[in-house]
Amino acid sequence: MIHVVGLGVSHTAELSAEAQRSLQQVDLVVGSARQLATIEDLLSIGKATAELPKLAELRPLVDGALAEQKSVMILASGDPLFYGIGRWFSRNFAQTDLKFYPAVSSLQTACHRLGIALQDLEVLSLHGRPLGKLKTRLRQNQPLLILTDSQSHPQAIAKSCIDCGFPQAQLTVLETLGYPEEQIRAFSAAELVAAQNDFDPLHLTLVEPGSNEGYLPEFPGIPDRYFITDTDKPGKGMISKREVRLTILSLMQLSRGDQVWDIGAGCGGVAVELAYWQPLATVNAIEHHPERLQCLQANRTRFGVVSNLQVIEGRAPEVLQGLTTPNKVFIGGNDGELPQLLAQVWELLPPDGVLVASAVTENTKQLLMQFWQQRTEAADSQVETTQVAVSRGETLAGQLMYRPNLPVNLFKFVKHGAAV
């Protein structure tokens, strides 16, 4: 058996009676030097121990022990199954080989120190993740409790808050919780950026963002002017306009685990919003035009969708070879390759896969109508089509007028599942 034991938040281990019994019975105990020190007084003489290696080396270590019919105990900080190593074990070993022992996590302890209910907070782990991911979770007046690493230290978080438009953010840094040197300090974002404080590596940061004065969205439908585009006019350029983009988001209906292609992504309006509002989907944005590609990369960074938005440089359909097979595809640009793209994507899509395509020109509309006719004759899909015609209000000589945009035709095809 593999015993994964939470140690709680203390300089001495806080083990249940069951965990203590298992500790006496296992053949090998694995943990960091700090973790092994917390259970030193509980180890029987001669008990075999090993320092926790990198994950690539941990699997062979555990497999070797199991092959010799030895039981292993893995020490974990706090709760092993809440942003802990327990998840890695669940993914890599059979459930019948695992036994977990829960404990109070550092996140729970932080809430109790501050008198804040855990359900009133959002939790984000930046440990081993890019700092830019913070942008996808900052919301007006929504407290955010963050697990950090050396790249997401409090000063970096404070600077990111200010840069994104949360200058009134308040940050509380909780260091070495459960140890005699425990320390809790509160700062404004401006104070923290200017400060030269050094913080213990063992810390959490609570961010209370305050009002949103910047460009990060609170709800789907990011204003066009907030995107970086291939023109010096805000809100213009190769980007789907907000009203059309919202319809596309509704048609795509992204879910956890979706693999998405955005073909002809332009400056990235659709790809960014898809990735922003569904962080557990993977979006591949395909673009070949150099200026638009540069804007796409810039918007990926600007909105923090650095974990689940992948930018693919190249021209479809050639560049599609080798990409993970999608279950949802949006075709926004096609460079005259639409018939081939439609046929290739439709062949690749699994049952219940979704294909959404847009048309502005009459030629593209006719090609999509032909594809619609093919699907109707084959009776292999559910089809939905919408024309979005938007007129935006402007002033002319002090008078309100509505200036129409070109209508956009949207087609959605849902591939029928296998016959029962």
H or E stretch at 65? helix 55-67
Q: What is the mean pLDDT of the chain?
A: 93
pLDDT at 333: 84
pLDDT at 187: 96
- The answer to whether residue 394 scores a pLDDT higher than 80 is yes
- The answer to whether residue 12 scores a pLDDT higher than 90 is no
pLDDT at 71: 94
Least confident of 69-73, 235-239, 320-324: 235-239
- Give dist(CA 154, CA 331) in Å, integer: 41
pLDDT band at 44 (very low <50, low <70, confident <90, very high): confident
State in words which class domain 224-415 has: alpha beta
Q: Pick one of 3.90.550.10, 3.90.1150.10, 3.40.1010.10, 3.40.50.1000 as the CATH number of 2-104.
A: 3.40.1010.10
- The answer to whether residue 309 scores a pLDDT higher than 90 is yes
- Per-range mean pLDDT, top range of 83-92, 143-152, 225-234, 268-277: 268-277
Residues of the chain with CATH 3.30.950.10: 108-208
Three-state secondary-structure class, residue 198? coil
- Give dist(CA 8, CA 11) in Å, integer: 9
Residues of the chain with CATH 3.40.50.150: 224-415
pLDDT at 419: 45
pLDDT above 90 covers what percent of the chain? Answer: 81
pTM (2 decimals)? 0.90
Does the CA dihedral 184-123-109-199 come out positive or negative? Answer: negative
- The answer to whether residue 420 scores a pLDDT higher than 60 is no
- The answer to whether residue 301 scores a pLDDT higher than 90 is yes
pLDDT at 252: 97
The DSSP letter of residue 134 is G
Instruction: Please give the average per-residue pLDDT across 337-353, as a whole number.
Output: 94
Q: What is the largest CA-CA distance in the chain?
A: 90
Tell me the Cα Rg of the chain: 26
Check residues 418 and 52 and name the one with the higher pLDDT: 52
Q: Which two tokens stand for residue 121?
A: 């907070």
b/e per residue 355-378 (b: at least 16 CB within 10 A): bbbbbeeeebbebbeebeeebeee
pLDDT above 70 covers what percent of the chain? Answer: 99
- The answer to whether residue 381 scores a pLDDT higher than 60 is yes
pLDDT tens track for 396-413: 899 999 999 899 999 999
- The answer to whether residue 182 scores a pLDDT higher than 70 is yes
Q: Pick one of 3.30.70.2970, 3.50.50.60, 3.30.565.10, 3.30.950.10 as the CATH number of 108-208.
A: 3.30.950.10
The DSSP letter of residue 298 is H
- The answer to whether residue 357 scores a pLDDT higher than 70 is yes
Q: Where are the beta strands (DSSP E) in 130-258?
A: 144-147, 170-175, 183-188, 203-208
Check residues 230 and 256 and name the one with the higher pLDDT: 256
pLDDT at 418: 57
pLDDT tens track for 242-281: 999 999 999 999 999 999 999 999 999 999 999 999 999 9
Report the 10 Å Cβ neighbour count for 308: 18
Residues of the chain with CATH 3.40.1010.10: 2-104
The angle that helices 290-302 and 269-277 make with each other, rounded to 10 degrees, is: 30
pLDDT at 335: 79
- Give dist(CA 224, CA 237) in Å, integer: 10
